[in-house]
Amino acid sequence: MKKQWITARVDPKTIHALAQELGCSPVLATLLHNRGLNAETAGEFLHPSLSQLSSPHCLKDMDIAVERIARAIFAQESIMVFGDYDVDGISAAVLLFEFLKACNARASYHIPHRIEEGYGLKSDHVLRWAGENPLDLIITVDCGSASHEAVQTARSLGVDVIITDHHDPDETLPDALAVINPKRRDDPSNLEHLAGVGVAFYLLACLRSYLRKSDFWANAAEPNLKDGCDLVALGTIADVVPMIRENRILTRAGLEVIGAGNRPGVQALLESCAVKTHPEAGDVAFRLAPRLNAAGRIAHAKTAAELLQARDLQAARMTAAVLEHLNIERRQIERRVFDDILSRLENKPALMGAFSLVLEGSDWHPGVIGIVAARLAEHFTRPVVLIVSGSGPARGSGRSVAGIDLHRILSECRQDLATFGGHRQAAGLTIDGNKIDRFRIHFDRAVQQAAAPGSFLPTGRIDCELKFQAICDRLLNDLEQLQPFGPENPEPIFAAKNVKVVSSRIVGRTHRRMALLQTSDSGGQVIDAVDFHIDPGVPAPAGFEQLVFRLQRNRWNGRCSPQIILEKT
């Protein structure tokens, strides 16, 4: 379906006044206005600093958790850090584990195997750890809000549990010593946008402060939390949480740390992705994160965790090479599943629901169904749930579209599900195989009731019209001030009219590189452009009546020039 583009409406007088107050270009003023910023709030947005972070003490149960962890450190109690197998969970686990080791704590960590252990802390984990060695404290990161049974098991064994998470919790929280989750209903922090690693960072900020007041650092070097912001950036970007406020501040700082090359594992990963200088959020989202995630999807996420902790660059390069091969394999598996589903739908269109898509397969790899569901949701502009059936409960992964809260939809279908959890746009579930057909009906009905008019129409928003003659270094500098981009702070989208294709050639099999000229541009400035993922058999257009695009710097061989990235229309 063709995307409908809507240009943001702005008042020229408002833009002119904002540009005058900020001393910036009208284009930058327009972009700031479109993000809901004014002269008072734009300054902090354009110059984010760690000093702007809100107090971490406002999170519910924070003081309880900090006091208990500090007691465990002082008494040399056994601490187990339990993370998730995605980038957010891995980076959070490594962040907390490294801090505890810097405190000389008796700490270890565990990242579960996606297929063999599944998501979240379970009673089996607690029983196994407690049976092998003395265990005093479990700290979860990026998970735990639904681990009621595991917490009860831990309590019965005299083991305290501290949960740090950011997933939508159940109405009743686990009976843990502390549950730090900004999405719990009684949390006053207004930090519900944090990723799991962001919550872990806030925990460490409070813990470090507590230890400082206790003179813990009198004879030891106090950890610099900014050094861990690279991990916060990795998890925050990879988990696709809103790129606003604390997330944007921490990610901006983390990208600086990544660029400094202080962590050999990340440096090796950048090398394997051919990212040489100035890493941006897009490099993390589309290059680093898929490789880190590949380990947990088709092998074991502990490989990614080991890479992030590597201290020797040569050893890190070997691990990064392993992740590279796993990512290639992941892409191949993902492509087969995606093509299989499209073939099934083509042969049997009735499988498509009126408002959603719920499909079950016994031979799909469970590690890739979340990615495939995301591609299908974008392709068909509707919520998608893919379920892998087999022996035992079937496992599913869902993705939604803008305006439809997937977690709420699953809550309305809870009678069909064994377990579920997640966010507005992404969730996981388990279900008995004999209930899938009933779930499909209930899910489609719930989506219909939740959908607003236009929910299933692909739309995009254009920030403003931009003439080629306005494209210059200053504008590119302005755009870089808006970074890092992500949900709720998207990369600016521009439109230009009457654009001529001066030259065109195919690169990399499915990409088209072009030179473009706006016929109304009196200066005759030719701009390089790239159109990704095209059909090479379709001839290049002679021109565009309206071109919709993003604008970036193209850094190549020490040179820097503007480059247009075409948007699909």
Q: What is the CATH number of the domain that holds 424?
A: 3.10.310.30
Whether residue 545 lies inside any domain: the answer is yes
pLDDT over threshold 90, residue 74: yes
- Total tally of structural domains belonging to the chain: 3
Whether residue 122 lies inside any domain: the answer is yes
> What Cα–Cα distance (Å) separates residue 419 from each residue in 118, 430, 469, 476, 481?
11, 5, 56, 47, 42
Q: What is the pLDDT of residue 1?
A: 62
Q: What is the pLDDT of residue 276?
A: 74
Q: Alpha-carbon torsion 472, 476, 477, 478, what sign? A: positive
Q: Rounded to 5 degrees, what are φ and ψ at 193?
A: -80, -10
Is the domain of 428 the same as that of 558?
Answer: no
Is the domain of 405 the same as that of 540?
Answer: no
Q: How far apart are CA 342 and CA 346, in angstroms?
A: 6
Q: How far apart are CA 180 and CA 412, in angstroms?
A: 25
Q: How many CA atoms lie within 13 Å of 554's alpha carbon, on the beta-carbon side? A: 13
Q: What is the mean pLDDT of residues 89-100?
A: 98
DSSP 3-state of 137: strand
Nearest to 169 by CA among 203, 195, 144: 144
Q: What is the pLDDT of residue 558?
A: 65
The predicted model scores a pTM of: 0.93
Q: What is the mean pLDDT of residues 142-161?
A: 96
Q: What is the mean pLDDT of residues 306-311?
A: 97
Boundary-marking domain end, from 450, 471, 503: 450
Q: How far apart are CA 324 and CA 306, in angstroms?
A: 15
Q: In whole numbers, what is the pLDDT of the chain averaged over residues? A: 94
DSSP 3-state of 254: helix
Residue 43 sits in a domain whose CATH number is 2.40.50.460
Contact 428, 388 (CB under 8 A): no
pLDDT one-digit tens code per residue, 165-222: 999 998 899 999 999 999 999 999 999 999 999 999 999 999 999 999 999 998 888 9
Q: Which of 92-101, 135-144, 357-366, 390-399 shows the lowest per-residue confidence on average (mean pLDDT)? A: 390-399
Is the domain of 444 the same as that of 470?
Answer: no
Whether residue 503 lies inside any domain: the answer is yes
Contact 110, 139 (CB under 8 A): no
Is the domain of 158 the same as that of 125?
Answer: yes
Burial group, residue 5, by CB count within 10 angstroms (0-12, 13-18, 19+): middle
State how beta strands 543-556 and 494-507 pair: antiparallel
Residue 107 sits in a domain whose CATH number is 3.90.1640.30
Contact 342, 336 (CB under 8 A): no
Whether residue 273 lies inside any domain: the answer is no
pLDDT over threshold 80, residue 270: yes
Whether residue 245 lies inside any domain: the answer is no
Burial group, residue 522, by CB count within 10 angstroms (0-12, 13-18, 19+): exposed
Query: Which residues have C-beta within 8 Å of that of residue 534, sequence separation ≥ 6?
Result: 510, 511, 512
Contact 410, 417 (CB under 8 A): yes
DSSP H or E segment with residue 148: helix 148-156
Boundary-marking domain end, from 196, 223, 250: 223
Is the domain of 526 the same as that of 504?
Answer: yes
Is the domain of 355 the same as that of 431?
Answer: yes
First-to-last C-alpha distance (Å) of the chain = 9
Is the domain of 71 the same as that of 217?
Answer: yes
Determine the angle formed by the axes of helices 87-102 and 229-238, rounding to 10 degrees: 160
Is the domain of 91 the same as that of 212?
Answer: yes
Range of the domain at 377: 348-450
Query: Which residues have C-beta within 8 Å of that of residue 332, sequence separation ≥ 6?
Result: none
Contact 290, 325 (CB under 8 A): no
Q: What is the mean pLDDT of residues 354-379?
A: 95
Is the domain of 365 the same as that of 396?
Answer: yes
Nearest to 494 by CA among 528, 477, 521, 470: 470
Nearest to 108 by CA among 88, 86, 128: 128
Is the domain of 528 the same as that of 422?
Answer: no
Boundary-marking domain end, from 223, 255, 279: 223
Determine the angle formed by the axes of helices 369-380 and 313-347, rounding to 10 degrees: 50
Phi-psi region of 533 (alpha: psi -120 to 50; beta: other; left: phi over 0): left
pLDDT one-digit tens code per residue, 51-69: 999 999 999 999 999 999 9
pLDDT over threshold 90, residue 392: no
Q: How far apart are CA 482 and CA 500, in angstroms?
A: 29
Q: What is the pLDDT of residue 454?
A: 73
Q: What is the mean pLDDT of residues 19-31?
A: 94
Query: Which residues have C-beta within 8 Å of that of residue 24, sequence separation ≥ 6?
Result: 32, 478
Q: Rounded to 5 degrees, what are φ and ψ at 474?
A: -60, -40
pLDDT over threshold 80, residue 344: yes
pLDDT over threshold 70, residue 298: yes
Is the peptide bond preceding residue 490 cis, with omega within 30 degrees of 0? no
Strand partners, 550: 565
pLDDT over threshold 90, residue 453: no
DSSP 451: P
Whether residue 477 lies inside any domain: the answer is yes
The pair of structure tokens assigned to 244 is 């606003």
DSSP 3-state of 566: strand
CA-based angle 431:435:436, to the nearest 5?
A: 75
Is the domain of 215 the same as that of 361?
Answer: no
Is the domain of 37 the same as that of 103?
Answer: no
Whether residue 237 lies inside any domain: the answer is no
Whether residue 319 lies inside any domain: the answer is no
Summary count for the chain: helices (H), strands (E): 19, 18
Q: What is the pLDDT of residue 2?
A: 75
DSSP 399-432: E--TT--HHHHHHHTGGG-SEEEE-SSEEEEEE-
